[in-house]
Amino acid sequence: MASFYGFEPQNPLFLGTAQYPSPAILAEAVKRSGAEVVTVSLRRESAGGAGQAFWALIRELGVKVLPNTAGCHTIKEAVTTAQMAREVFGTDWIKLEVIGEDDTLQPDVIALVEAARILADDGFKVFPYTTEDLVVGGRLLDAGCEVLMPWGAPIGSGRGLNNPYGLRSMRQHFPDTPLVVDAGIGLPSHAAQAMEMGYDGILLNTAVAKAGDPAAMAEAFALAIRAGRQAFAAQPIEARDMAAPSTPVMGKAFLA
Ligand SMILES: CC(=O)[C@@H](O)[C@H](O)COP(=O)(O)O
């Protein structure tokens, strides 16, 4: 079981809390997912009365909160948002997003590394939303991050794992670092695929919040993550190009 800054969830699903049809459906989805961590945007919390009601709901669910800097485009914006989130949510955990480009919501990895360094030096436990770039991953670890969160695909796209090769390389390159695929997951099978590669967790939002039945989809993701993790631990066979008979040929009836 992976440890995220000392926290070892039974269920490594990090569930987003935005875009649900209603607070009641959000609550039901969190319950049925079995998620122990939810990610929350500071913007929502600061939205006056609605924000207070939302925060009360999250507290009632009894889950750990991972505030995020969603929507931040600069180092200054992300660092300030993280500092405010620490005050509001009473946690030093921060999911760090510094967006670099609006078509793909791709992280600005240069600004990300600098923001991660500032926040880690300030005592934050940083969960950086990054790409599958190995050099950037190394820089983030040097900056003080103990978890890396490469994207599966652009946020909200539901495309799944755009670059399985890159994600596999990342797993091999950082064997001892907790790795979470964050963003772009559309189906439970995408989550299972990442867990089968040996990833330690999945962060997703849109695929559950925008599903026809968010609570049922949340449960489907929990099942898929469990299946993928168990499959990885069970050491899957290597894929091969040629057939290998699965039925023994010994003792086969032989006609001369
Ligand atoms: C909620 C959050 O943190 C998002 O920015 C995150 O990256 C999830 O992405 P999806 O909505 O594609 O699952």
* Domain CATH for 91: 3.20.20.70
Q: What local confidence, expressed as pLDDT, does residue 55 receive?
A: 86
Global pTM value = 0.93
Residue 8 belongs to some domain of the structure: no
Secondary structure of residue 181 in the 3-state scheme: strand
User: How far is ligand 1, taken at its centre, from the CA of residue 39, in Å?
Assistant: 9
Secondary structure element (H or E) that encloses residue 9, with its range: none
Whether the predicted pLDDT of 51 surpasses 80: no
pLDDT class of 49 with cuts at 50, 70, 90: low
User: How far is ligand 1, taken at its centre, from the CA of residue 249, in Å?
Assistant: 51
Whether residue 172 contacts residue 152, with contact meaning beta carbons closer than 8 Å, is answered with: no
Exposed e or buried b per residue across 73-103, where buried means at least 16 C-beta atoms within 10 angstroms of its C-beta: bebebbbebbbebbebbeebbbbbbbbbeee
Residue 242 belongs to some domain of the structure: no
Is 186 known to sit in a ligand binding site? no
- Nearest atom of ligand 1 to the alpha carbon of 156: 12
Domain that holds residue 34: 13-234
For 154, what's the count of Cα atoms within 13 Å in the CB-facing half-sphere? 9
Residue 2 belongs to some domain of the structure: no
pLDDT class of 225 with cuts at 50, 70, 90: very high
Sign of CA dihedral 224, 6, 181, 17: positive
Residue 4 belongs to some domain of the structure: no
Sequence letter at residue 63: V
pLDDT class of 54 with cuts at 50, 70, 90: confident
Whether residue 68 contacts residue 94, with contact meaning beta carbons closer than 8 Å, is answered with: yes
Residue 222 belongs to some domain of the structure: yes
Is 206 known to sit in a ligand binding site? yes
Whether the predicted pLDDT of 218 surpasses 60: yes
Rounded CA separation 212/233 (Å): 32
Whether residue 111 contacts residue 165, with contact meaning beta carbons closer than 8 Å, is answered with: no
- pLDDT tens-digit series, residues 68-107: 999 999 999 999 999 999 999 999 999 999 999 999 999 9
Sequence letter at residue 157: S
How big is the CA angle at 95 (ends 55 and 16), to the nearest 5 degrees? 50
Rounded CA separation 165/1 (Å): 24
Rounded CA separation 30/36 (Å): 8
Residue 114 belongs to some domain of the structure: yes
Whether the predicted pLDDT of 256 surpasses 60: no
Residue 145 belongs to some domain of the structure: yes
Is 184 known to sit in a ligand binding site? yes
User: How far is ligand 1, taken at its centre, from the CA of residue 252, in Å?
Assistant: 55
Q: What local confidence, expressed as pLDDT, does residue 176 receive?
A: 97
| Number of residues that this document lists for the chain | 256
Rounded CA separation 221/211 (Å): 12
Residue the block writes with tokens 């064997």: 175
Q: What local confidence, expressed as pLDDT, does residue 123 receive?
A: 98
Residue 246 belongs to some domain of the structure: no
Rounded CA separation 120/143 (Å): 7
- Nearest atom of ligand 1 to the alpha carbon of 208: 13
Q: Which residues line ligand 1 (CB under 6 A)?
A: 16, 18, 39, 68, 70, 95, 97, 129, 155-156, 182-185, 203-207
Whether ipTM > 0.85 holds is: yes
As a whole number, the mean pLDDT across the chain is 94
- Nearest atom of ligand 1 to the alpha carbon of 209: 11
Active-site residue set: 95
Q: How far is CA 166 from the centre of its chain?
A: 16
Q: How many independent structural domains does the chain possess?
A: 1
Whether residue 116 contacts residue 145, with contact meaning beta carbons closer than 8 Å, is answered with: yes
pLDDT > 70: what percent of the chain?
95
